[in-house]
């Protein structure tokens, strides 16, 4: 499939790129002839449709059916931009609704390859209301616990982006694609064009990954494996505790596009356990981790003894040499598929979310704090991840490590309180098992929002407290010299957390 600066792929070329030799079986809804020149009697509409059909070989702007991507069966729908700009009319709506119904009936994931300019003006309100049909069909698929993936091609604008595209559970984009609600001819003349690009939407947290065309099949295969549908998956195992020796010197999130070993392609693999369909060491941003998804609740090298005092517990949790979220995720998963952004225009690089595959193929959703104050966008992304996993029946792993929620003015304006409340609610409402490991700082409610009630575990270099000892001492008007004694009073050490009934175990 060409990138945006090349000739556009046809609907069938886009399908073939993903299904390859496995093939594709096309379906068609029952025919419903339009009145002459369409529902509005738009002069020349029939002739325009005939020219579009002769040029593309298609009867409408959408092709749909069943196919196999990698080793996973799915329903595919693909837009033909050459047919009246991939626009949505009544017959397009028939095909889209039929594709969603086919996925529902056969209990298959839906994969949409989108390239559209929006609703078809020659059909007026009849065309516009197709968006409501698509939204209703998508809602039924969600209620049935079936995943939806969108691959947005060039261009994806208007109502097609606002329903089939942005409404999917996972949104992947081709590099350089024009993506946005406003098309190029209807946006303000002074608008920043980067905001309407795949990369701009990724930066704004509206797209999960930007994937080059030649890496798309592998990425989609892994997403299909992770998203399911699944039945009766066990709880996520507790990660093994990692020793401080050899850990990364600083905390950090997965690098953004083009930085270090990461990329917007959104697939990371652990060394030594690469499931089928995942590459290694390519320019796709497939990064190798320290582990191979072999984590367990025991073993893992020389773990430090328990801290003797509260002050020591805090110091060890704040030690920049201890292992952070990235190290734990690399050790736990063979493949990671990041979910990027809060879908409200923001991201938090200090919080990692996504789905992963362990060495045995088990999918687990993850939410991991990276040792920084968590921002509202991070909490919204966490809630999004937990709710998606819950709907699809995928167990959740959370890694807690934050001094607390971000408390600056910008965070307050961005809705910190509401975002934290929503994360508490997502965890509380989850029907799938949630497993939590506290790997560093457990700073008050900003950390507790990600902790699983009755299934939280701690490492020896962690602590959890209602308030930081320094702040507690200040509130109590104690001198700084008494901060250590205050930490002891708070009973925040790992062994204290087990004794208090907050933690179930100390991971070894």
Q: Looking at residue 266, what is its pLDDT?
A: 65
Q: Per the structure block, which two tokens stand in for 294?
A: 């072999």
Left, alpha or beta for 163 (phi > 0: left; psi -120 to 50: alpha)?
Answer: alpha
Q: 155 preceded by cis ω (within 30°)?
A: yes
58-106 per-position pLDDT tens digit: 999 999 999 999 999 999 999 999 999 999 999 999 999 999 999 999 9
Report d(CA 406, CA 376) in Å as an integer. Answer: 8
Report d(CA 308, CA 305) in Å as an integer. Answer: 9
Q: Looking at residue 123, what is its pLDDT?
A: 96
What HEC string does 291-355 produce? CCCCCCCCCCCCCCCCCCCHHHHHHHHCCCCCCCHHHHHHHHCCEEEECCCCCCCCCCCCEEEEE
Is the distance from CB of 156 to CB of 181 less than 8 angstroms? Answer: no
378-431 per-position pLDDT tens digit: 999 999 999 999 999 999 999 999 999 999 999 999 999 999 999 999 999 999
User: What DSSP string describes 365-384?
Assistant: EEEEE-SSPBPHHHHHHHHH
Q: Looking at residue 269, what is its pLDDT?
A: 60
Q: Looking at residue 267, what is its pLDDT?
A: 66
**Phi, psi of 214, deg, nearest 5:** -75, -5
Q: Looking at residue 288, what is its pLDDT?
A: 31
- The stretches in the chain having pLDDT less than 50 are 1-6, 246-263, 271-300
């Amino acid at each position: 499939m060409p990138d945006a600066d090349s000739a556009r792929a046809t609907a069938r070329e886009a399908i073939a790129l993903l299904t390859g030799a496995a093939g594709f079986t096309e379906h068609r809804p029952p025919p419903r002839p339009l009145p002459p020149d369409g529902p509005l009697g738009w002069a020349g509409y029939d002739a325009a449709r005939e020219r579009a059909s002769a040029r593309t070989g298609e009867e409408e702007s959408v092709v749909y059916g069943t196919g196999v991507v990698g080793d996973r069966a799915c329903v595919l729908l693909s837009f033909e931009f050459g047919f009246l700009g991939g626009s949505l009319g009544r017959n397009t709506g028939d095909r889209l609704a039929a594709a969603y119904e086919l996925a529902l009936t056969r209990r298959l994931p839906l994969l949409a390859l989108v390239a559209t300019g929006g609703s078809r003006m020659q059909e007026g309100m009849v065309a516009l209301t197709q968006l409501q049909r698509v939204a209703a069909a998508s809602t039924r698929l969600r209620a049935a616990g079936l995943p939806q993936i969108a691959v947005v091609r060039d261009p994806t604008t208007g109502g097609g982006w606002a329903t089939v595209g942005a409404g999917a559970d996972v949104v992947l984009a081709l590099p350089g694609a024009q993506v946005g609600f406003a098309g190029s001819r209807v946006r303000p003349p002074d608008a920043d064009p980067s905001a309407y690009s795949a990369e701009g939407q990724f930066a704004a947290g509206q797209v999960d990954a930007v994937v080059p065309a030649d890496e798309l099949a592998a990425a989609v295969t892994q997403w299909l494996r992770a998203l399911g549908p699944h039945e009766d998956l066990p709880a996520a195992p507790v990660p093994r505790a990692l020793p401080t020796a050899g850990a990364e010197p600083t905390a950090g999130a997965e690098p953004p596009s083009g930085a270090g070993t990461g990329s917007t392609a959104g697939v990371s693999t652990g060394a030594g356990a690469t499931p089928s369909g995942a590459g290694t060491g390519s320019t796709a941003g497939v990064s190798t981790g320290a582990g191979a998804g072999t984590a367990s609740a025991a073993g893992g090298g020389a773990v430090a003894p328990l801290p003797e005092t509260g002050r020591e517990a805090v110091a060890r949790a704040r030690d920049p040499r201890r292992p952070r979220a990235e190290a734990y995720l690399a050790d736990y998963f063979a493949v990671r598929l990041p979910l990027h952004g809060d879908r409200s225009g923001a991201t938090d690089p200090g919080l990692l979310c996504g789905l992963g595959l362990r060495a045995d193929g088990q999918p687990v959703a993850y939410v991991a704090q990276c040792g920084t104050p968590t921002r509202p966008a991070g909490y919204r992304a966490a809630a999004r991840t937990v709710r998606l996993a819950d709907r699809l029946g995928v167990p959740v792993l959370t890694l807690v490590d934050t001094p607390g929620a971000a408390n600056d003015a910008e965070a307050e304006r961005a809705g910190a309180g509401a975002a934290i409340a929503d994360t508490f609610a997502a965890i509380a409402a989850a029907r799938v098992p949630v497993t939590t490991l506290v790997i560093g700082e457990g700073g008050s409610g900003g950390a507790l929002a990600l902790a699983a009630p009755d299934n939280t575990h701690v490492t020896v270099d962690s602590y959890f407290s209602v308030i930081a000892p320094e702040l507690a001492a200040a509130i109590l008007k104690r001198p700084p010299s008494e901060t250590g004694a205050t930490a002891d009073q708070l009973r925040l050490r790992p062994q204290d957390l087990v004794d208090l009934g907050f933690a179930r175990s100390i991971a070894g």
